[in-house]
Amino acid sequence: MQSHEQPVLRDLVLVGGGHSHVGVLKAFGMRPIPGVRLTLICTDTDTPYSGMLPGYVAGHYSFDDVHIDLGRLAAFAGARFYRDQVTGLDRVNRKVLCRHRPAVSYDLLSINIGSTPQLQGVPGAVDNAIAVKPIARFNERWLALLSRVQQHPDSTTVAVVGAGAGGVELLLAMQFRLRQTLMHMGRNPDNVRFHLFTSSADILPTHNPGVRQRFDAVLKQRGVQLHRHAAVTQVSPGRLMAASGEVVDADEIVWVTRAGGADWLKDTGLALDADGFIQVNDHLQTVTDPHIFAAGDIASMVNYPLEKAGVFAVRQGPPLTENLRRSVQGTALKAYHPQRRWLALISTGDKFAVASRGWLGFAGAWVWRWKDWIDRRFMRKFQEFPAMPDSAAPGAVASTTGTVQLSAEESLQAISAIAMRCGGCGAKVGASVLANALSQLRPVQRSDVLIGLNDPDDAAVVRVPPGMLMVHSVDFFRAFVNDPYRFGQVAANHALGDLWAMGAQAQSATAIATVPPGLESKVEDVLFQMMSGALEVLNEANCALVGGHTGEGQELALGFAVNGLIADDPTQLMRKGGMQPGDALILTKPIGTGTLFAAHARLAAKGRWIEAALQSMVLSNRAGAQCLRGFGVTACTDLTGFGLLGHLVEMTRPSNVDAEIDLSALPLLDGAQECVAAGIVSSLQSANVRLRRAVRNQEAMVAHPRYPLIFDPQTAGGLLASVPAERAQDCVTALRALGYVHTTIIGRVLPAGDALAPIVLCG
Ligand SMILES: Cc1cc2nc3c(=O)[nH]c(=O)nc-3n(C[C@H](O)[C@H](O)[C@H](O)COP(=O)(O)OP(=O)(O)OC[C@H]3O[C@@H](n4cnc5c(N)ncnc54)[C@H](O)[C@@H]3O)c2cc1C
């Protein structure tokens, strides 16, 4: 999480987690510029390293060997990581438009989104061919192909379209892996056949004749049917037709050619080349807009036409970093002149590789080992991070205004923000900042809200309809993730959880927020992002935001006082007491958020674990509570800070029962067990562990690998409920159908025994 003490002065937004941007992130992580905030927006949490992709396909590497974890890398760099798809730019207002979140403001933008398959030009290709690009999506397509071949009873024919280095290397890797797979299954490896189509006379047209001959020989020896001068002109299910007149039947058609720029770039006004790639100058700056840079496949250097290859994207990382630094600091940019010749190491699938550079070419198993060494060394840069000195040290603040170029007004605001840091915490956010941020939000309108945000007064006035009771709750916590929008979503969902757990419907909410001081535009933006996320959740719950208070504070924090309504009938309330012996205990969401976010703060959690945890945290308990009621729930609560054990004891005590929990049945978030096994727990864990005396057989169970997780504090956790045993299985099925896919029966309610400790663990 971003923990810089100095105010944010400039936003550098990186679109796409390609090979150049991973270099930028690492470099900024090693040497940040005080006051410059990085944000990475990428569709994927794990981005593939193209150099090792064929080795992964061939089965020599695992998924994690060949993917860079953007979540961890961004955390190391102190960057905000927004997992989303960029759909456009508003260059006038300097905003990046995203598919699933509000637009993201930038001062400086860099684009590294790779290339996009251009299948549209060939009839039938879109529906019937598997595009290798974008490579970040290739993994799922490859795994699906692998499984189809395994399940295919007879022989399978695979056609690869495109015989550049990517196509040839991929074909040989796929062939190696599929043959090995069939052999392991006891089937004939010759049952998988390959065709390679190229529009030109030669394969590997950008390499020297010696290298081409070597690969011609390898393809021949491996029985690959090569179709030269055979541009594919039409694809239909299971069949492709080439300009040469050839027609080939194929079960799988893999497309490794004709890549272009993403369609959304056409509407940005940026100058694009004939294939839709962004035209950049020698500074990797777009020729159109000095605030926008581009690198990798998506960039087209006007003075240096380059092949689309990961090696160039990697090499552009350092000059791109340098020019982004210079641009934000207002110094002269530095020209980058790519090498005319480069070394390509192309593998043949079987741990053998060919080196190609200009007119040179050599081959061997040792070349593969050499390539393997180079590739693993590259990946280590993004897997192992040095411990960094605390960039938030107070001394760093003083130098802040000197590093980033600011206008006079901005300098004043920055200086006052620093002063605020020194003593003014808790002050109110400026009225115009608040008004601007909130004016863009549209809270849901309810007829029972008499005075709310649209007609503000000293306080909100809300009517309690006749025959209804009002249900109150409040929650407040610090941002645990470097993404104000998603934090806002989680904070609102967490607060509403208490209402759903009582069986109430949400009515209104007031917000309390603290935002770190800084330039007004930055404070306003953070507030807007955070409240947008929160409002989305409140509106979805038909809960009217009727007021709030925002102050400046050291850290971003948000909480809500929420009010709900329930019929004036005690039987309608879902209470913690009420459990009956024999009931089944149901948990609707997996646990582990405490340990996962503690690990995230230490760079010890995988980005995809954090992503999955966030998705779980924004899943509302509203429908789950209604479902539980329909199955005769006898008691219910939502899991939050006290963890599973703490909340269970809160239920057994008033119910005057005991309970048994099956540790092996507990639904866990991905990575939770690994994190506690590594000894990483939340700072709240020790307080929760005090309750261990409630466990009757703790000595017998303390060594169980899941034991620490019963103390793990949850944020926006699931519902823990007791349901009559005979209806429990149907209830689980219904909850899963509603989207609570991890719902599980985790134990049962026992009659109160003589022992003081009410909880028994098993599993
Ligand atoms: C099978 C295969 C093997 C290859 N082998 C090699 C090789 O050995 N050596 C080599 O040099 N090259 C190789 N290449 C080519 C190489 O993959 C590409 O040139 C390289 O990936 C380009 O890197 P990049 O950084 O430009 O973009 P990419 O690596 O494609 O990364 C782009 C990133 O941007 C993200 N993104 C895309 N669109 C959006 C959006 N709208 N919003 C947000 N994020 C977005 C993607 O999720 C991805 O993380 C191979 C290609 C293939 C298909």
How remote is the CA of residue 615 from the centroid of ligand 1, in Å?
26
Assigned token pair, 614: 């966030």
Please report the atom of ligand 1 found closest to the CA of residue 311: 11
Render pLDDT for 705-734 as a digit per residue (tens, 0 to 9).
999 999 999 999 999 999 999 999 999 999
Q: Candidates 21, 135, 254: which one to mutate for ligand 1, based on the most atoms within 8 Å of Cβ?
A: 135
- In this structure, the strands spanning 108-111 and 10-15 are parallel
Confidence of residue 425 (pLDDT cuts 50, 70, 90): very low
- Comparing 81-90, 244-253, 608-617, which segment has the lowest mean pLDDT? 244-253
How remote is the CA of residue 287 from the centroid of ligand 1, in Å?
23
How many angstroms separate the Cα of 516 from the Cα of each of 103, 107, 415? 21, 19, 14
Give the residue, by CA position, lying nearest to ligand 1 atom 20. 310
pLDDT reading at 460 higher than 80: yes
Q: What is the mean pLDDT of the segment spanning 2-9?
A: 66
Amino acid (one-letter) located at 498? D
pLDDT of residue 399: 38
Average confidence score pLDDT of the chain:
91
Q: What is the mean pLDDT of the segment spanning 600-625?
A: 96
Burial 394-428 (b: 16+ CB within 10 A, else e): eebbeebbebbebeeebeebbeebbebbeeeeeee
98 catalytic? Reply is: no
Nearest to 143 by CA among 237, 227, 63, 47: 63
Please report the atom of ligand 1 found closest to the CA of residue 296: 26
How remote is the CA of residue 482 from the centroid of ligand 1, in Å?
26
Give the residue, by CA position, lying nearest to ligand 1 atom 27. 114
- The Cβ of residue 126 has, within 10 Å, a number of other Cβ atoms equal to 14
Give the residue, by CA position, lying nearest to ligand 1 atom 7. 51
pLDDT reading at 77 higher than 90: yes
CB neighbours of 571 closer than 8 A, spacing ≥ 6?
none
Please report the atom of ligand 1 found closest to the CA of residue 70: 49
Assigned token pair, 600: 């995230």
Please report the atom of ligand 1 found closest to the CA of residue 310: 11
Confidence of residue 518 (pLDDT cuts 50, 70, 90): confident
Give the residues surrounding ligand 1 with Cβ less than 6 Å away: 15-20, 41-44, 47, 50-51, 53-54, 85-86, 112-114, 132, 134-136, 166, 169-170, 256, 262, 296-298, 308-311, 313
pLDDT reading at 401 higher than 50: no
Q: What sign results for the dihedral spanned by CA atoms 403, 406, 411, 417?
A: negative
Give the residue, by CA position, lying nearest to ligand 1 atom 37. 113
The percent of residues in the chain predicted with pLDDT above 90, rounded, is 78
How remote is the CA of residue 296 from the centroid of ligand 1, in Å?
8
- Report the DSSP beta bridge partners of residue 506: 564
Q: How far apart are CA 223 and CA 227, in angstroms?
A: 13
pLDDT of residue 400: 38
Q: Candidates 113, 119, 138, 357: which one to mutate for ligand 1, based on the most atoms within 8 Å of Cβ?
A: 113
pLDDT of residue 390: 53
How remote is the CA of residue 493 from the centroid of ligand 1, in Å?
36
Render pLDDT for 684-693 as a digit per residue (tens, 0 to 9).
999 999 999 9
Render pLDDT for 562-580 as a digit per residue (tens, 0 to 9).
999 999 998 889 999 999 9
How many angstroms separate the Cα of 332 from the Cα of each of 14, 283, 322, 327? 21, 10, 10, 7
Confidence of residue 395 (pLDDT cuts 50, 70, 90): very low
- Comparing 308-312, 465-469, 730-734, which segment has the lowest mean pLDDT? 308-312
- Report the DSSP beta bridge partners of residue 90: 95
Give the residue, by CA position, lying nearest to ligand 1 atom 19. 309
pLDDT of residue 422: 46
pLDDT reading at 388 higher than 80: no
pLDDT reading at 57 higher than 60: yes
Please report the atom of ligand 1 found closest to the CA of residue 41: 43
pLDDT of residue 145: 86
- Between helix 593-601 and helix 70-77 the angle, nearest 10°, is 50
Q: What is the mean pLDDT of the segment spanning 674-695?
A: 95
- Comparing 271-285, 511-525, 526-540, 677-691, which segment has the lowest mean pLDDT? 511-525
Determine which one of 42, 422, 425, 731 is catalytic.
425
Q: How far apart are CA 496 and CA 506, in angstroms?
A: 7
How remote is the CA of residue 165 from the centroid of ligand 1, in Å?
14
Confidence of residue 397 (pLDDT cuts 50, 70, 90): very low
Please report the atom of ligand 1 found closest to the CA of residue 20: 25
How remote is the CA of residue 310 from the centroid of ligand 1, in Å?
7
- Comparing 1-15, 27-41, 55-69, 517-531, which segment has the lowest mean pLDDT? 1-15
pLDDT reading at 653 higher than 70: yes
Q: What is the mean pLDDT of the segment spanning 457-482?
A: 93
pLDDT of residue 430: 66
Q: What is the mean pLDDT of the segment spanning 192-220?
A: 93
pLDDT of residue 496: 97
Half-sphere exposure of 405 (CA within 13 A, CB side): 11
